[in-house]
Amino acid sequence: MKIVVCVKQVVTREWNLRLDDARTWVQDRDASFEMNEPDAYALEEALRLKEQHGGEVVVCSAGPARVSQVIREALARGADRAIRIESDTLAAADSVMVAEALAAAIRDEGFDLVLTGLQSDDQGFSQTGVVMAERLGIPHATIIMKIQVAAGRLRVKRELEGGWFQWVSMSTPALLTIQSGINQLRYATLKGIMAAKKKDVRVVAPPAGLEPRHEILELYVPEKEKQTRLIDGTPAAAAAELVRLLREEVRAI
């Protein structure tokens, strides 16, 4: 079973975000980076499927040269080889651009399954995996909490709203977007770190003609503010007014 896992490099959550001069993205020249958390769960699920059914796990990531960091981490955790799509423009690109670059890079891999995280920690659109499936012409399912493989078919558990779940049967090849918490993440061992240095990383260019589908006009940091509002009247009237404010203005109830 050949599984492709798409991982993204994002700014660490502990880093103090600052906007760049154009106010269209964060200033990341001196930032520290990490693997996108939902993608880490997708990688772990791929490694577990490989341990159960055999095969190969291929990691794919798009972005500037620094994405080698998360690729090496994935290889150290147990992935067999990697594909790196090198392009500075993909560091903050929209979901469609990234999906088209990833799809072009893995189209000839002959995969059985493609896994991505449900969403990225920076933009959080939850669309990269969905668009990839459309570009590759394969079925997909989102918000996956469990994967079962039998006789070349998949049976997956989707998380719905309100505590409900849905089981879906699918043929392969297919693409799944993985929900965080589906499994327990493993850490890279010293042996894995040393082995990662010898594993193959193929560097490719993105396809020509990639164009953004949306434009970020401006980012801003929300301003913290507070306001005190006094309610006059009898206790009954004040209570009624408080309920009205909470319902109609604050929308807390």
Number of domains in the chain: 1
How confident is the model over 54-79, as pLDDT tens digits?
999 999 999 999 999 999 999 999 99
Question: What span, in angstroms and rounded, lies between the C-alpha atoms of 28 and 122?
Answer: 12
Residues of the chain with pLDDT > 90, as a percent, come to: 67
pLDDT for residue 122 is more than 80: yes
Residue 88 lies inside a defined structural domain of this protein: yes
Residue 251 lies inside a defined structural domain of this protein: no
- Residue keyed to tokens 């050949």: 2
The per-residue pLDDT for 55 is 94
Cis peptide before 173 (omega within 30 of 0): yes
Residue in 35, 33, 197, 173 with CA at minimum distance from that of residue 106: 173
Question: What span, in angstroms and rounded, lies between the C-alpha atoms of 103 and 120?
Answer: 17
pLDDT for residue 93 is more than 80: yes
- Residue keyed to tokens 């203005």: 249
Residue 210 lies inside a defined structural domain of this protein: no
E strands of the chain, at which residues?
2-6, 9-11, 33-35, 56-63, 81-86, 113-117, 140-150, 153-159, 165-171, 174-178, 201-204
| The pTM of the whole model exceeds 0.75 | yes
Residue 242 lies inside a defined structural domain of this protein: no
Numbers of helices and strands, H then E, in the chain: 6, 11
Mean pLDDT of the chain: 91
Contact (Cβ atoms closer than 8 angstroms) between residue 178 and residue 41: yes
pLDDT for residue 123 is more than 80: yes
Lookup: tokens for 51: 């341990």
Provide the sign of the torsion angle of the four alpha carbons 62, 70, 185, 124, taken in this order.
Answer: negative
Residue 223 lies inside a defined structural domain of this protein: no
Residue 100: CATH number of its domain: 3.40.50.620
Query: What is the domain range of residue 188?
Result: 2-204
Residue 156 lies inside a defined structural domain of this protein: yes
How confident is the model over 217-234, as pLDDT tens digits?
888 877 777 778 888 889
| DSSP assigned state of 227 | -
Residue 252 lies inside a defined structural domain of this protein: no
pLDDT for residue 87 is more than 80: yes
Residue 62 lies inside a defined structural domain of this protein: yes
